[in-house]
Structure 1
Amino acid sequence: MSTAPGYQSPTVTVSATLPKRGIGSAVLIIPVVTGDDDQATVVTNPFLDAEAVGEIEVALRALGAKGGTDQTTRVLAPSLPVASVLAVGLGKSRDEWPGDAIRRAAGVAARSLNGTENVVTTLSELDVEATVEGLILGSYRFSEFRSAKTAPKEPRLAKVTVLSTAKNAKADAARGTNVATAVATARDFINTPPSHLYPDEFAKRARALGESVGLQVEVLDEKALVKGGYGGIVGVGKGSERQPRLVRLTHKGGKGRKAKKVALVGKGVTFDTGGISIKPAANMHHMTSDMGGAAAVIATVVLAAKQQLPIDVVATVPMAENMPSSSAQRPGDVLTQYGGITVEVLNTDAEGRLILADAIVRACEDEPDYLIETSTLTGAQTVALGSRTPGVMGNDEFRDRVATLSQSIGENGWAMPLPEELKDDLKSTVADLANVSGSRYAGMLVAGVYLREFVAEGVQWAHIDVAAPAYNTGAPWGYTGKGGTGVPTRTMFAVLEDIAEKG
């Protein structure tokens, strides 16, 4: 098995002028809007003179291009030193563009140019970082398991030249590259099939990735988990011959006694059959994504190290495979979570909260100021919020801070409540708690209430349910292809940066 560090991004360079040489095979990506005459109009930039703009607009209008959002039109422009020009629509003109509008346009452009090795873009004059992120994520492909028969014949995007006159363009491009590479690494983890990414292998890859950027790494195997009293992780994993793991990755960036400490926890169920409470066969293969939270957490702490954030970040990542067998836990079993709380397992398919509870208690032993936990936890998230909107729960103030930052960067987390009365639904007749409610309602919130029981007093905590947003089963859109999305890597990193800046 490969344990090499993750996704390798294209080479990104920044230029304040349109190169005259060396880009003859490149495609120039430019933004256009719908003008007052309902025709495509090139967004003003300092890199194209009036002759080039006129040439492009004549070609676009000859093809009936309108400049609508997500529309792309490819034309020739003989006066420019590129092979062709790709116009990507931004809709109606405006004074300022949200970063995600630029990110999405860049992603749409990259997907439409699948197989192009070299691109140059003026879209970056509007937002360098968003452009780089969109191009890298839009061009992302996962083809590790394709043979020569079906592997893509066209090359991958290898070189990106972003045109910008901004003072901090190089720093913004570097940051955009690192962020997009982290998201792509999370996607790689999610898209790797469970035959090749099981707990031990996942732990090895996490170790290799962490050590490559100087993180402190600790891995507990099944014997250490039993000895340590991690009843939730052991209970979920004991039905599989591929035994569970707990991985701890530590970034020491804080300086001084006042440096903030943030705990990250992510659900790492490498495949979820539901155990004895087995899932329906239809679409069970999507459960290859049930470690999406763990993938995002690992990618985020690695990104924190790359960006040298001046805070301490400790990721605690439980990994298990939930299988039915003669050794699997049964509905009605009682286990003891790490820290001593006993739980009656009424449904073995509510396994994520069992491994997360162990990890949350362990993470709180480090006395963090903040704890962010994310997981593909409940189908109820999809029912409540759809396939693209994560549900954010937790302490009201920190929950709202996380949701606001998530919306600002385009992952669109939405704040949800944790009603006190739902705790009564988790009462057990034989243990401290039951792992599911007897009601069919508010399943996402009930899971949040369960997890809240394990968060130490005084810790600001947020739980992000990404059951559907972590894995796109539909058509590609924007900078998101089919399969693993990497959500909520960018949300968590935005929160880490905000804590580093504001405390």
Structure 2
Amino acid sequence: MSEPASSVVTTPLAAIETPLLAVALAEGTSVPASLAALDQAAGGVLTRAITSGDFKGKRDETSLLYPAGGKAQRVLLVGMGKAGDVTRNTLRRAAAVGGKRARALGATQLACAVATEARNGTTARDLGQAIVEGAAQGAWSFTELKAAPDDPRPEVAAIVIVCDDRESKDAEAGRRVGDAIAAGHRLTRYLQVQPGNVCTPAYLANEAQRLADAYGFTATTLDRQEIGKQGMGALLAVAQGSAQEPRFIVLEYRGGGGGDAAPVVLVGKGVTFDSGGISIKPAQNMEDMKFDMSGAAAVLGTFETLGRLKPKINVVGLIPATENLPSGTAVKPGDVIRSLSGKTIEIINTDAEGRLILCDALSYARRFKPVAVLDAATLTGAVVVALGHAAIGIMGTDEALLGEVREAGERAGERCWPLPLWDEYRDLLKSDVADVKNSAGRGAGTIAGGWFLREFADGYPWVHLDIAGTAYTESEAPYQSKGPTAVGVRLFSEFILKRAGA
């Protein structure tokens, strides 16, 4: 898993030596004044592309140009749409388009610039952060399990942000943050894309320990016996059908308040493969259920970012990790289990397993006396029906915290949409034989999953993020390869950094 180096330069665009110079600009019919010198040095190729109408500047539109002069071997125009709509998310997306094209071309260095006229007030700090995050996202690929990649290309080894000298200091501050978040993003995608026979619960625990060793975190891993001693009956119930041992992973970063300040707790669902258990899923697309540990991967990726930035705040990561498989020892519909909280749960559907392992993690979180708890989970297919693949479904017990999470999602380009947890929905989970049942059927499926978790999120402000629709993609996009998206890393990072005042 290679990591591109990033830097900020103030060299004039016409003098940038690079195999690919990506220039983001808004819709228009003429070359922006800030690009005039580049156009002149390149022999007027920008003017010809724009005035001919071949390049209009619409969002994600590109035009690859081969300049007659100047130092850049290629110039890639990247459209951002209307100038008045440009935000830092727009810049990130444009940089990602550039990064993906650089990877396809085999360009080992990508220089990125944004036409001044298209910035729409975006700060230099945001510019630096967004370009690094986006370019790294677009340049990502995974070929290590192939003996011979179909079309071997060198990886993008360097990302260069080109800006005005007056903005270089702020751009460098943003680059540093963006570089750390991009590293967390990259780790999360790497973990997500691994097959289930590689990324087991023990593999996730080893990765947590690696992070702890690298950055000085405290890592604690509970095995099956220790999980049982804790009383995590819900996690053990899901794990009992698999030969793979479950793990309960605790990562602690102490960066603020002398280590005594109440921490933010991040919880990530870590089902490393989900067959559905006895309530088995259809065979079609079941291979994608290796992504059911995406919440756990997002937590680990966020700790990679924390280790690099060292914000002044305390953060705890909790990952319940297991497989969910059918066998002669698997939990069955109709079984009643006892969770860490003491509440009993009637199993209606063994494929509603994520909430079972999360409920024990949410109960465990109480011992840290957290200031806030956020959990991320590929919890329900119903969230895809409700919101498609564009938004994270969120629910919670604290309106201020919900607003804070939504704001972090907007900054991160990982947008969230709230769903209600009204008291009327609690009736969906009533059981005749236990305190609660784990599935309520088809109606309000995402809300029922959230309400189940709410039963165990006692004593602290809590927000649940259902990332089932956003954790991975089934098709290529101009700004992203098919597969894992690392959703949650940027949102968690933005949330934590703002809390830390960074």
TM category (shorter chain) comes to: over 0.9
* Contact persistence 1:402–1:491 (CA under 8 A): yes
CA deviation vs aligned residue, 1:312-340 (integer Å, no higher than 9, x gap): 10001000000000010111111111121
More helix by share: 2
Secondary structure of 2:368's match? Answer: coil
Q: Distance in 2 between matches of 1:124 and 1:470?
A: 32
Secondary structure of 2:450's match? Answer: helix
Q: Which residue of 2 aligns with 1:32?
A: 25
The match for 1:429 among 428, 432, 435 is 432
Q: What letter matches 2:493 in structure 1?
A: F
Q: Which residue of 2 aligns with 1:120?
A: 111
Q: Which residue of 2 aligns with 1:362?
A: 364
CA displacement at 1:345 relative to structure 2? 0.9
Q: Which residue of 2 aligns with 1:454?
A: 456
Secondary structure of 2:31's match? Answer: strand
CA displacement at 1:294 relative to structure 2? 0.5
Q: What letter matches 2:4 in structure 1?
A: P
* Contact persistence 1:392–1:414 (CA under 8 A): yes
Extract unaligned runs of 5+ from structure 1: 1-6
Q: Which residue of 2 aligns with 1:90?
A: 80
Q: Distance in 2 between matches of 1:54 and 1:315?
A: 54
* Contact persistence 1:301–1:314 (CA under 8 A): no
Q: Which residue of 2 aligns with 1:489?
A: 489
The match for 1:412 among 415, 432, 435 is 415
Structure 2 residue 389 is matched with structure 1 residue 381: no
Q: What letter matches 2:159 in structure 1?
A: V
CA RMSD of aligned residues (A): 2.1
Q: Distance in 1 between matches of 2:30 and 2:56?
A: 4
Q: Percent identity, please.
A: 34
CA displacement at 1:353 relative to structure 2? 0.3
Q: Distance in 2 between matches of 1:42 and 1:483?
A: 36
CA displacement at 1:24 relative to structure 2? 4.4
Q: Distance in 2 between matches of 1:49 and 1:142?
A: 34
Q: Distance in 1 between matches of 2:238 and 2:74?
A: 54
Secondary structure of 2:58's match? Answer: coil
The 1:256–1:227 alpha-carbon spacing in structure 2 relative to 1, beyond 3 Å, is closer
CA displacement at 1:172 relative to structure 2? 1.1
CA displacement at 1:169 relative to structure 2? 1.7
CA displacement at 1:309 relative to structure 2? 1.3
Secondary structure of 1:501's match? Answer: coil
Which range is displaced more, 355-364 or 391-400?
Answer: 391-400
Q: Distance in 2 between matches of 1:316 and 1:327?
A: 26
1:161-172 to 2 correspondences below 5 Å: 161-165=160-164, 166=167, 167-172=169-174
The match for 2:88 among 87, 95, 99 is 99
Q: What letter matches 1:422 in structure 2?
A: Y
1:65-76 to 2 correspondences below 5 Å: 65-76=55-66
Q: Which residue of 2 aligns with 1:468?
A: 469
* Contact persistence 1:34–1:41 (CA under 8 A): no
Q: Which residue of 2 aligns with 1:3?
A: none
Q: Which residue of 1 aligns with 2:159?
A: 160
Q: Which residue of 2 aligns with 1:8?
A: 2
Q: Distance in 1 between matches of 2:276 and 2:39?
A: 62
Q: Distance in 1 between matches of 2:57 and 2:39?
A: 19
CA deviation vs aligned residue, 1:58-87 (integer Å, no higher than 9, x gap): 341457222221111111223311111111
CA displacement at 1:407 relative to structure 2? 2.0
The match for 2:307 among 281, 305, 308 is 305
* Contact persistence 1:33–1:40 (CA under 8 A): no
Q: TM-score, normalised by structure 2?
A: 0.92
Q: Which residue of 1 aligns with 2:124?
A: none
CA displacement at 1:487 relative to structure 2? 0.4
Q: Distance in 2 between matches of 1:43 and 1:245?
A: 58
The 1:124–1:213 alpha-carbon spacing in structure 2 relative to 1, beyond 3 Å, is farther
CA displacement at 1:301 relative to structure 2? 2.4
Q: Distance in 2 between matches of 1:93 and 1:100?
A: 13
Q: What letter matches 1:28 in structure 2?
A: L
* Contact persistence 1:30–1:42 (CA under 8 A): no
Q: Distance in 2 between matches of 1:453 and 1:490?
A: 28
Q: Distance in 1 between matches of 2:478 and 2:451?
A: 33
CA displacement at 1:202 relative to structure 2? 1.8
Aligned residues: 486
Q: Distance in 1 between matches of 2:236 and 2:156?
A: 43
Q: Which residue of 1 aligns with 2:245?
A: 243
CA displacement at 1:470 relative to structure 2? 0.5
Q: Distance in 2 between matches of 1:325 and 1:257?
A: 44
Secondary structure of 1:31's match? Answer: strand
CA displacement at 1:432 relative to structure 2? 1.0
Q: What letter matches 1:80 in structure 2?
A: G
The 1:193–1:79 alpha-carbon spacing in structure 2 relative to 1, beyond 3 Å, is same
* Contact persistence 1:42–1:57 (CA under 8 A): no
CA displacement at 1:448 relative to structure 2? 0.6
* Contact persistence 1:380–1:444 (CA under 8 A): yes
Which range is displaced more, 464-473 or 47-56?
Answer: 47-56
Structure 2 residue 48 is matched with structure 1 residue 55: no
Structure 2 residue 259 is matched with structure 1 residue 265: no
Q: TM-score, normalised by structure 1?
A: 0.92
The match for 1:394 among 393, 396, 420 is 396
Q: What letter matches 1:85 in structure 2?
A: V
CA displacement at 1:20 relative to structure 2? 8.1
Q: What letter matches 2:5 in structure 1?
A: T
The 1:124–1:152 alpha-carbon spacing in structure 2 relative to 1, beyond 3 Å, is farther
The 1:239–1:40 alpha-carbon spacing in structure 2 relative to 1, beyond 3 Å, is farther
Q: Which residue of 2 aligns with 1:4?
A: none
Q: What letter matches 2:436 in structure 1?
A: L
* Contact persistence 2:362–2:457 (CA under 8 A): yes
Which range is displaced more, 124-133 or 230-239?
Answer: 124-133
* Contact persistence 1:29–1:121 (CA under 8 A): yes
Q: What letter matches 1:162 in structure 2?
A: I
Q: Distance in 2 between matches of 1:258 and 1:340?
A: 28
Q: Distance in 2 between matches of 1:466 and 1:53?
A: 45
* Contact persistence 2:32–2:115 (CA under 8 A): no
* Contact persistence 1:33–1:43 (CA under 8 A): no
